[in-house]
């Protein structure tokens, strides 16, 4: 292989390149028709109130089943959607679906249920976002405190002034705000103090080894202390074991999310989950 150097490398590499480019083009063209063809779906992952033990709310997580590519993970297609502007109509659809669904659960007696939606940096650059959210809350009759918007620091700082104004407007409306993936290096203390957050979501990379890694444990302990001083609640992501659950509860984390409590599931499965487990502050049968 090495002997004919350049030529062989070219021949070996070229099909690979072409495949990647083809895949990318399939991704882009597939994604642009995904909404219209009904290939997008929201799944919901339960969030548990750690002191009380009930279901506090759920995070909406986008799923795409492409006929050509199969199930494409959001870590793959969201960046593509962000790069070509498709995230705008997709993000609007996600917000509407999540609000519609939140209203359904509130009406079924989960009055305090909070549905969390991930926002992209592109959405936080659109000065009309707060109005758009207000319009959707109004149209579906959902109280603003039943909605939480999750943003990462990289999202917030893409255009600090605009995103700050949007977050401020959303906060004043009563919509909850969370800083997502805290502790991954994309989040910092500066943004924490400046933006009107209600929740810090500790990234699952910090939660994973708490049973064995004293340093990760110390970091989480100080995040909880900081959150208390700032008047914020702490959500731990990626809780997979009963041991992690006990430790996080003992440390004073307010909410937990992870496979231990439930994987992201369809809204029908979430309905059944809530029937089984009840929800925090539920009226009637629990």
97-156: contacts with ligand C2E (CB under 6 A):
118-120, 150
204 near ligand C2E, judged by CB under 6 A: yes
Give the integer Cα–Cα distance in Å for 167 and 152: 12
| Candidate ranges 27-35, 127-135, 245-253, 255-263; the one touching ligand C2E (CB under 6 A) | 255-263
Q: Quick check: 69 and 27 in contact, CB under 8 A? A: yes
43-102: contacts with ligand C2E (CB under 6 A):
45, 61-62, 73-75, 78, 94
Residue closer to ligand C2E (CB basis): 86 or 274? 86
Distances (CA, A) of 62 to 36, 42, 137: 15, 5, 20
Q: Of ligand C2E, Mg ion, none, which one sits near residue 171, judging by CB under 5 to 8 A according to partner kind?
A: none
Provide the Cα torsion 89, 92, 98, 100; round to 10°. Answer: -100
Q: Quick check: 45 and 262 in contact, CB under 8 A? A: yes
Could you tell me the smallest distance in angstroms from the CB atom of residue 225 to Mg ion? 21
Could you tell me the smallest distance in angstroms from the CB atom of residue 180 to ligand C2E? 5
Could you tell me the smallest distance in angstroms from the CB atom of residue 59 to Mg ion? 6
Can you tell me which of 48, 264, 280, 282 binds ligand C2E, judged by CB under 6 A? Answer: 264
Total residues found in the chain within this entry? 286
Q: Of Mg ion, ligand C2E, none, which one sits near residue 10, judging by CB under 5 to 8 A according to partner kind?
A: none
Helix H or strand E segment including 42 = strand 40-49
Residue closer to ligand C2E (CB basis): 74 or 252? 74
Could you tell me the smallest distance in angstroms from the CB atom of residue 286 to ligand C2E? 25
Give the integer Cα–Cα distance in Å for 214 and 252: 16
| Candidate ranges 1-9, 166-174, 223-231, 253-261; the one touching ligand C2E (CB under 6 A) | 253-261
Give the integer Cα–Cα distance in Å for 196 and 238: 24
Give the integer Cα–Cα distance in Å for 284 and 271: 16
Give the integer Cα–Cα distance in Å for 94 and 263: 19
Distances (CA, A) of 116 to 43, 81, 240: 11, 20, 20
Which residue minimizes CB distance to ligand C2E?
A: 258
256 near ligand C2E, judged by CB under 6 A: no
Binding-site ranges for ligand C2E (CB under 6 A): 45, 61-62, 73-75, 78, 94, 118-120, 150, 180-181, 204, 237-240, 257-259, 264
């Amino acid at each position: 292989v090495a002997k004919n150097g350049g030529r062989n490398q070219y021949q070996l590499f070229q099909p690979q390149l072409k495949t990647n480019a083809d895949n990318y083009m399939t991704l882009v063209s597939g994604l642009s028709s995904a909404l219209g063809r009904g290939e997008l779906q929201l799944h919901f992952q339960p969030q548990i109130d750690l002191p009380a033990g009930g279901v506090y709310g759920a995070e909406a997580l986008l799923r795409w089943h492409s006929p050509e590519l199969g199930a494409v993970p959001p870590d793959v297609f969201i960046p593509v959607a962000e790069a070509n502007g498709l995230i705008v109509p997709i993000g609007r659809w996600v917000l509407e679906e999540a609000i519609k669904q939140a209203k359904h659960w509130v009406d079924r007696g989960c009055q305090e249920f909070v549905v969390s939606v991930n926002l992209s940096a592109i959405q936080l650059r659109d000065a009309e976002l707060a109005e758009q959210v207000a319009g959707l809350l109004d149209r579906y009759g959902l109280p603003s405190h039943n909605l939480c918007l999750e943003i990462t620091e990289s999202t917030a700082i893409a255009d600090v002034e605009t995103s700050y104004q949007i977050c401020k407007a959303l906060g004043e409306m009563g919509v909850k705000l969370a800083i997502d993936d805290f502790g991954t290096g994309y989040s910092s203390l500066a943004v924490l103090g400046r933006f009107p957050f209600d929740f810090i979501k500790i990234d699952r990379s910090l939660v994973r080894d708490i049973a064995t890694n004293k340093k990760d444990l110390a970091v989480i302990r100080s995040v909880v202390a900081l959150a208390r001083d700032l008047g914020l609640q702490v959500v731990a992501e990626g809780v997979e074991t009963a041991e992690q659950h006990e430790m996080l509860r003992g440390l004073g984390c307010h909410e937990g999310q992870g496979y231990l409590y439930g994987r992201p599931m369809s809204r029908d499965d979430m309905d059944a989950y809530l029937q089984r487990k009840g929800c925090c502050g539920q009226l009637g049968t629990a």
